[in-house]
Structure 1
Amino acid sequence: MALSASSPSSSFLRGSFSSHELKAPWIHSVRLLDQCSVPRDSYCRKFLVKPICAEQKISDSVVPLAATLVAPEVEDRIETEDYEKLAKEMEQASPLEIMDKALEKFGNDIAIAFSGAEDVALIEYAKLTGRPFRVFSLDTGRLNPETYQFFDTIEKHYGIQIEYMFPDAVEVQALVRSKGLFSFYEDGHQECCRVRKVRPLRRALKGLRAWITGQRKDQSPGTRAEIPVVQVDLSFEGMDGGVGSLTKWNPVANVEGQDIWNFLRAMNVPVNSLHSQGYISIGCEPCTRSVLPGQHEREGRWWWEDSKAKECGLHKGNIKQEEVAQLNGNGNGAEPTNESDRVTDIFNSQNLVTLSRSGIENLARLENRREPWVVVLYAPWCRFCQAMEESYVELAEKLAGSGVKVGKFRADGEQKAYAQQELQLGSFPTILFFPRHVASPIKYPSENRDVDSLMAFINALQ
């Protein structure tokens, strides 16, 4: 969607705010709203029973700072929202309209993910709506000096404080000690990104019901060509927990990169000084370089890897596999019909035991096990299995050396009938705990598959 000077969105920018509104007082990143303009409606997600309009929870997942204002009070009125339908309705909407809708719906329970690159446009759009907004960023500890300087510039320009999320120091220390500072050049960036970016993001999103990203369709043709302006995020969980508890908004999904830059220049918005040095897509210093004229912007990210799948894990749901199942109305993955064995396996970790059919049969038969086991019954093509991969691998890391074995059993294909009859498989993923002195496994009953919930389940049964 081009943002030319004569486009409807440009008119919207010029004419949406009266002189009275522009003189309204500002507090940090937002101006006070007249009481008559405060939205009174709240919405529920399509995939959960619980309304998002429930009483606000205090969470330290994202540390509340000065940029955070309390959202307007809302009525406890339940309304369901079909985000696929909403995405179609807003496909031609301007980024400002999309941003306004997102902030109106979720108030203080939504935040902008700011990476220090050109998605500063999101902050500008949020400011133009006149609504309260929050901004968070992932400080991996390996960003360019120019990016840190840019964070400071943005905070001063907008009068806000960005809510920074940091990786776990123990995890970073373990990774560096065992594999060195630059292991990603040898075995891929996923492990480092998981520790420095994905897990901090997971913690941040557990304190929200929605987040706003700067994803655009033209950023990465291999992974982002079909992103909608709003979607249910199946890769992460929000504060209510469970599948479907988080919504992702992509206000600039349909905007081309050049139009973003036209907007930034028109609004006199500060930008990262690295852009003038040939950097377009900016990440961590060791994994980002400038691009040559004519090269795609993502060529500067993880340049030593496959250019068709350049995602760090923050938007893992964008990566498609030919056999990824369509979701049916029961929230269960429909098994692929052809060549399912070719799907790349998941839950790969040295702390996880891969169980064969005979292995899990023996485990199920034991009445006096020496060690308790937790086992996931999974199918690698299932989106819900993929969504819990990070948390299950982290669970295995936490339980390493504890006396609890962590395993996985692929229960699709020819193993599915056995798993349904003997292992309580209902849908993927199914998590079973095999206690030390009890013959029958105990099925994990919740859709909350974060590490803390799984640990609580295991600790309660030991």
Structure 2
Amino acid sequence: MAFSVASSSSSAISATNYSRSSELKALQIGSLRLLGRPAAVSLSQRRCSVKPVNAESKRNDSIVPLAAAIAESEVAEKIEVEDYEQLAKVLENSSPLEIMDKALEKFGNDIAIAFSGAEDVALIEYAKLTGRPFRVFSLDTGRLNPETYKFFDTVEDHYGIHIEYMFPDAVEVQALVRSKGLFSFYEDGHQECCRVRKVRPLRRALKGLRAWITGQREDQSPGTRSEIPVVQVDPVFEGMDSGVGSLIKWNPMANVEGQNAWNFLRAMNVPVNSLHSQGYVSIGCEPCTRPVLPGQHEREGRWWWEDARAKECGLHKGNLKHDDLAQLNGNGNGATYSNGAAGVADIFNSQTLVNLSSSGITNLLRLENRKEPWIVVLYAPWCQFCQGMENSYLELADKLAGSGVKVGKFRADGDQKEFAKQELQLGSFPTILLFPKHSSRPIKYPSEKRDVDSLMTFVSALR
């Protein structure tokens, strides 16, 4: 129905006004959704796929009245964009429950929890405690542990929800496997496989949302997650409106320590993945995940054959710094880092420890008859796994003080990395070597148990 104005002096709309009114037909309904928050929805509605903003039901031939459209446009222009950096500061000391409640209140049905099948089940518990409707999605890569699939089913039953699963494109998976085999990531890094099986499905999922909720914590990965805020504009992915800033990322547990997260799960009697009781902490795909051992950091169970610097699959690529991104753009198996990553303090500092220079380690390597045995850690100060074993190694140095065994450290990243790989058996950080008496060849510590008792057993057996 054409818009008209009736008055005593005019019986029809002017040609100019009619032309202007016709142009308003092109106005997208989605551009006006800024005026109100999405309404809460029922559980059954949450189980449906999210429609993109341009998938609104079609109008009939009538158009928005000219005066109303102009007024509404003026209101839209006055709406201020949320300052999420400021909001993060306001919420940084808030509880995960408060942060979750704010996220669900703000975005309604346009936000969803990313659930990996690990301890981020805490997110679902927090969402339930808010009393608000919520949605959960997960990425099924096709290579998860059987225990994880069973856990998904348990979580659905426990909370009375349907998890919205996203799957990789079958054609892309087929092409990857046919060209490179089932385990190509062991040779050329995990990034390509993760891109096909995880990142692209996630990208599709997020295109139907305005915000998402993750279980990232600062203490999960000191190298890549130590500065994550509780809420941020997603630096990598786009939401349903497309473009930079179209997706908001919530991290309600950013400031929660791992032990406190587990205390919460136990207190609330929340179901957990049975793999946790088998030593798994960070859980991903079956071929790329294994239990962690004493002295290891929780993320060391992921992609253990690679360098520690960029242990991200791409889902949280925005956490990585510039030099870490260079690692991801390569094959993930041997990028060279500059000596002295800016702002990273040195580790393994003790008076009972000898800091070996390049010439010092070379001389030690050339000696065929040493007066005393040495144990030396090849490390990089930015490596969270080296950081994770620092206390046990310092304790080892204290125990060996005055015993006739020298304890040393050698920084083997940057310009020293190639030398360490060729001459010192460096495979990944940390690498521990014993230089015994009367032997020209150092012995590499074969275990990943880095507690002080295991290290003492190694030294005592070979000194």
Are the equivalent residues in 1 in contact too, given 2:46–2:134 (CA < 8 A)?
no
* Partner-residue secondary structure (3-state), 2:322: coil
- Judge conservation of contact 1:217–1:254 (CA < 8 Å) in 2: yes
Match of 1:222 in 2: 223
With over 3 angstroms needed to count, the CA separation of the structure-2 counterparts of 1:323 and 1:169, relative to structure 1, is closer
The amino acid of 2:246's aligned partner reads S
Deviation of 1:294 after TM superposition, in Å, equals 2.6
Q: Name the amino acid aligned to 2:214.
A: T
| Corresponding residue SS for 2:122 | helix
Describe the shift of the 1:190–1:113 C-alpha distance in structure 2 as closer, same or farther (beyond 3 A): same
1:183-222 → structure 2 map (5 Å cutoff): 183-222=184-223
For 1:289, the equivalent position in structure 2 comes to 290
CA distance in 1, matches of 2:143, 2:327: 30
Separation in 2, partners of 1:227, 1:67: 31
User: Who is 1:300 aligned against?
Assistant: 301
In angstroms, what is the RMSD of aligned CA positions? 2.8
Match of 1:5 in 2: none
Preserved contact between residue 231 and residue 249 of structure 2 (Cα < 8 Å): yes
Q: Distance in 2 between matches of 1:256 and 1:244?
A: 29
Specify whether residues 101 and 51 from structure 1 end up closer, same or farther in structure 2 by C-alpha distance, changes over 3 A only: farther
Instruction: State the alpha-carbon separation in 2 of the partners of residues 135 and 283 from structure 1.
Output: 18
Q: Which has the larger radius of gyration?
A: 2
How far residue 53 of structure 1 moved from its aligned partner, in angstroms, is 3.0
Aligned: 1:129 with 2:110 = no
How far apart are the structure 2 equivalents of 1:54 and 1:233? 22
Distance 1:126 1:87 in 2: 19
Alignment of 1:53-452 (within 5 A): 53=34, 66=47, 78-321=79-322
> Following the alignment from structure 1 to structure 2, what is the Cα–Cα distance between the partners of residues 347 and 252?
31
Name the structure with the higher helix share: 2
Amino acid aligned to 1:290? P
What are the superposed Cα offsets for residues 70-124 of structure 1, whole Å, 9 maximum, x if unpaired? 9xxxx99734210001101111000000000000100000000000000000000
1:247-292 CA deviation, whole Å, 9 max, x = no partner? 0000000000000000000000000000000000000000000001
C-alpha separation in 2, matches of 1:64 and 1:241: 24
Q: 1:170 to 1:347 in 2, by over 3 A?
A: same
Is the alpha carbon distance of 1:87 and 1:345 closer, same or farther for their aligned partners in structure 2, counting shifts above 3 Å? Answer: closer
Deviation at 1:234, TM superposition (A): 1.8
1:125 is paired with a residue of what secondary structure?
A: helix
**Alpha carbons 1:68, 1:133 under 8 Å: kept:** no
SS of the counterpart of 2:218? coil
Q: TM-score, normalised by structure 1?
A: 0.56
2-side partners of 1:194 and 1:345: how far apart?
Answer: 11
Q: Quick one: structure 1 residues 100 and 347, their matched pair in 2 at CA, closer, same or farther if it must change by over 3 Å?
A: same
Q: Secondary structure at the match of 2:220?
A: coil
TM-score w.r.t. the length of structure 2 is 0.56
Alpha carbons 2:310, 2:324 under 8 Å: kept: no
Contact 2:191 2:328 (8 Å CA) reproduced: no
Unaligned runs of 5+ in 1: 1-48, 58-62, 325-342, 349-462
Give the whole-Å Cα distance in 2 for the aligned partners of 1:143 and 1:241. Answer: 31
Note if contact 1:223-1:309 (Cα within 8 Å) is conserved in structure 2: yes
Query: Which secondary structure does the structure 1 equivalent of 2:249 belong to?
Result: strand
Q: Deviations along 1:150-203, whole A, 9 cap, x unmatched?
A: 000000000000000000000000000000000000000000000000000000
Q: Residue 212 of structure 2: SS of its match in structure 1?
A: strand
Question: How many residues of Structure 1 are paired with residues of Structure 2 in the alignment?
Answer: 273
Q: 1:346 to 1:276 in 2, by over 3 A?
A: closer
- 2:5 aligned residue: none
Structure 1 residue 309: Cα displacement:
1.0
Contact 2:144 2:286 in 1 (8 A): yes
User: 2:50–2:208: 8 Å Cα contact kept in structure 1?
Assistant: no
Distance 1:65-1:310 versus aligned 2 partners, 3 A rule: same
| TM superposition shift of 1:293 | 2.2
Post-superposition Cα deviations, 1:288-320, rounded to whole Å, max 9, x if no partner, equal 000012311100000011112100000001110
**Counterparts of 2:248 and 2:36, CA distance in 1:** 18
Partners of 2:307 and 2:251 lie apart in 1 by: 25
> 2:90 & 2:154 partners in 1: Cα distance?
36
- Identity, % of aligned pairs? 81
* SS of the residue 2:165 aligns to: strand
